[in-house]
Amino acid sequence: MHDENVGHATTTGLDNRKMLMWVFLASDCLFFGSLISTYMVMRSQSGVGPLPGDIFDILYTSVSAFVLLMSSLTMVLSLAALQRGDHKNTRIWLLATAFLGAVFLGGQYYEFTVFVAEGLTLSTNIFGTTFFVLTGFHGTHVAIGVMMLLSMYGASVLGKLPQSSSLNLELVGLYWHFVDIVWIVIFTIVYLIPS
């Protein structure tokens, strides 16, 4: 196996860091899976409103889902650029990805503000509790991802992200795409299905 990023020899011939990232993402599936099923089980148990149908704005959330999807595109473009040795484009796409991630977070912040204004808080009812815990947990993932992207950008500017260590960016990319696919699931199950 030829691999441009082999840290040291492993029994599988695969880089341990990449394996670690995949195992971590697999375990994160379980975390999100539990939160999503808790939401599904509990959302209709609330005795008091507001309820999902009262406050969700599908079009608004579709736009933020779209923003996050597009950030996955800019992420792969950034990695592809680094693998070609094109540092200028690596940085441009990295910044674009971080920017889209920040837009998503801003959108979520605004959405939460609107919901709270309409009377849904973490403690209003069990729908609010499970909804905010699930989407807040995802938002935290996005925020961590944005920090990782910005540190990659910083490393690139300082010349510490050479073509030979593109695996570092690939790992950040895997995490970022994972955050995106989790949102694909949340968007469908939490937002689209109830209406």
Partner 1 sequence: METQLATFLAYSPLIGMVIGMGSAAAFLILYKANQMRQLRVESESSDTDDDHPTPTLYAQIAGILLAITIVEVVVVIIDIGTLLLIPILLILSAIKFGFVIGYYMHLKFDHKLFSTMFLGGLFLAIGVMAALIGLFGNFTLPSDTVLAESSSHEKHHLTHVDSPLMTVLGLSGSDDGHSEEVASDSSGSLTITSGESGVEFAFAPANVEVSAGESVQLIFDNKGTIAHDFAIPELGFAIESTDAGQSGSATLAVPATPGTYDFICSIPGHKEAGMVGQIVIN
Q: Where along the sequence are the contacts to partner 1 (CB under 8 A)?
A: 2, 12-14, 18-19, 22-23, 25-27, 29-30, 32-34, 36-38, 40-49, 51-53, 58-59, 62, 65-66, 69-70, 72-73, 75-77, 80, 123-126, 129, 170, 173-174, 177-178, 180-181, 184-185, 187-188, 192-195
Which residue, 84 or 160, has its beta carbon nearer to partner 1?
A: 84
Minimum distance of partner 1 from residue 131's CB (angstroms): 12
Q: In 10 A of CB 99, how many CB atoms?
A: 15
Helical H segments across the chain, by residue range: 16-42, 52-55, 58-84, 87-117, 126-157, 166-186
Minimum Å gap between C-beta 150 and partner 1 is 20
Report in angstroms how near the CB of residue 92 gets to partner 1 at its nearest: 13
The least distance separating partner 1 from the CB of residue 87, rounded to whole angstroms, comes to: 16
Cβ-based nearer residue to partner 1, 153 or 183? 183
Q: What phi and psi values does residue 4 have, to the nearest 5 degrees? A: -75, -10
- The residue among 18 and 87 lying less far from partner 1, judged by its C-beta, is 18
Q: Which two tokens stand for residue 156?
A: 């690139």
Three-state DSSP string of 130-172: HHHHHHHHHHHHHHHHHHHHHHHHHHHHCCCCCHHHHHHHHHH
Look-up: residue for tokens 């540092």? 87
